[in-house]
Structure formats: C-alpha cells, structure tokens
C-alpha cells in the first residue's frame, strides 16, 4: 500500500471562485502532477472527511451510506512525482493507493474511450466504478438512480478540486464499458461510470 499525503491545504479556495472558473479541459501540457495534488483529488472523490476517525462519512453523499463506488488511478511514466506508472485502486480506509498493475495504460484507456486521444496525453486519469448491487440490495431498482446521483457528486468534486489546484479535467462518459473494464481488470458486476483525465491545461 502506498500512503498518500494527508495535507489538503492546496484546496483552500473560495467556493464562488472555483464555481465560476470551472470548465472542461481536453488539451493537457506535458508537465507531471504532484502526489499531493493526486491525493487531494482522490480524497474529494471518495475519501473520508476525517483521517482521525476511520468511521467518518465520506466527502460525497451516498444513499443510506452504502458507498458503492471504487476509484481507480491510471498514471503514465514519470507523470506523477513519487509514483510509478501503473494502475492503482484508491483505498478509502487508509487513504492510500493499492498497486494493481504496472505499465502505462493511458493509450489502452484512450482506445477504450473511442480513441479520445487527450486521455492518453493527460498525465493521469481517475476512473469512477460502481457496484450497483451494494445499493440495490437496500433500495431495489431505485438504487440504480441513487448510484448515478453519487457518481455525479464525485464528478463535481473532482471538477472543483481540479480548478482549485490549477489543473484541468473533463468528465468522459463516452466509452466501451467492456473495454474499460478490461483495462482496469474489474471484478464481475463492477461497472465503469466516469473517466476523468487530469493534467495542467495547455
């Protein structure tokens, strides 16, 4: 497990300022990200509000606190300082990264997203994945809607945090589900919902 920085002071911006400045970015500079920035983005996406209280709720609302989401990070070679290229799973309990596989998977991810090349040009991508059964086991088919609502909460947090960090992103929903699942080697019944390429705007 790779422990992530817990200092979130980089995110201290006025909400009105980041709401006004938020926009989608599809052109990324060839400049590596800092591990502190990545830690902030993963934390706002699905992290817990308190590092001192392991039982604390997460930074996004979730129907019945079921939390059906898993967050993955793909980064390229020398594209995130202090982090090797590869595929990682964000561990909410420890605020850490679990290495899944090595190698630069950005081209494969871009191909799975109908060859949207800017995904391969971004230093890293965050992929939000859901296990619908976690929520539908409580709420029935209505739970599908609740999962999608939660994905939207996570996505907006990523957008606003990127803006606060001086980074750019875009919410990508156009992809082949099975192809993205193969890139991430997802367990059965886990569905990719969002791809967020992350980088400095060009």
pLDDT at site 56: 83
Tell me what the mean pLDDT of segment 138-158 comes to.
98
Residues 198 and 38: their CA atoms lie apart, in Å, by: 9
Tell me what the mean pLDDT of segment 8-24 comes to.
96
Tell me what the mean pLDDT of segment 2-30 comes to.
96
pLDDT band at 173 (very low <50, low <70, confident <90, very high): very high
For the chain, give the mean pLDDT.
97
Q: Spell out the domain ranges in the chain.
A: 2-199
pLDDT band at 52 (very low <50, low <70, confident <90, very high): confident
- Angle at alpha carbon of residue 106, lines to 161 and 123, rounded to 5°: 40
Q: Give the CA distances from residue 8 to residues 51, 76, 154, in Å, rounded to whole numbers and listed in that order.
A: 11, 24, 17
pTM across the whole model: 0.96
Residues 139 and 131: their CA atoms lie apart, in Å, by: 14
Residues found in the chain: 202
Location of structure tokens 């705007």: 201
Topology of domain 2-199, CATH: NADH Oxidase (3.40.109)
Neighbour-count burial for 112-128, b at 16+ CB within 10 Å, e otherwise: bbeebebbbbbbbbbbb
Location of structure tokens 């699942």: 181
Q: Does the pLDDT at position 54 exceed 80?
A: no
């Amino acid at each position: 497990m790779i422990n992530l920085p817990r200092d979130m002071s980089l995110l201290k911006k006025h909400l009105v300022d980041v709401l006004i400045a938020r926009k989608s970015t599809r052109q990324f500079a060839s400049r590596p990200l800092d591990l502190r920035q990545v830690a902030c983005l993963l934390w706002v996406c699905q992290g817990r509000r308190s590092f001192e209280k392991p039982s604390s709720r997460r930074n996004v609302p979730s129907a019945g606190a079921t939390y059906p989401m898993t967050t993955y990070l793909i980064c390229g070679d020398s594209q995130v300082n202090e982090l090797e290229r590869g595929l990682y799973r964000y561990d909410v309990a420890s605020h850490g990264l679990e290495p899944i596989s090595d190698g630069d998977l950005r081209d494969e991810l871009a191909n799975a997203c109908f060859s949207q090349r800017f995904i391969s040009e971004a230093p890293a991508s965050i992929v939000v994945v859901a296990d619908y059964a976690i929520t539908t086991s409580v709420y029935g088919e209505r739970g599908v809607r609740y999962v999608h609502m939660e994905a939207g909460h996570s996505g907006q947090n990523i957008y606003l945090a990127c803006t606060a960090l001086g980074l750019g992103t875009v919410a990508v929903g156009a992809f082949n589900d099975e192809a993205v699942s193969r890139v991430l080697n997802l367990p059965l019944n886990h569905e990719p919902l969002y791809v967020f390429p992350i980088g400095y705007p060009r």
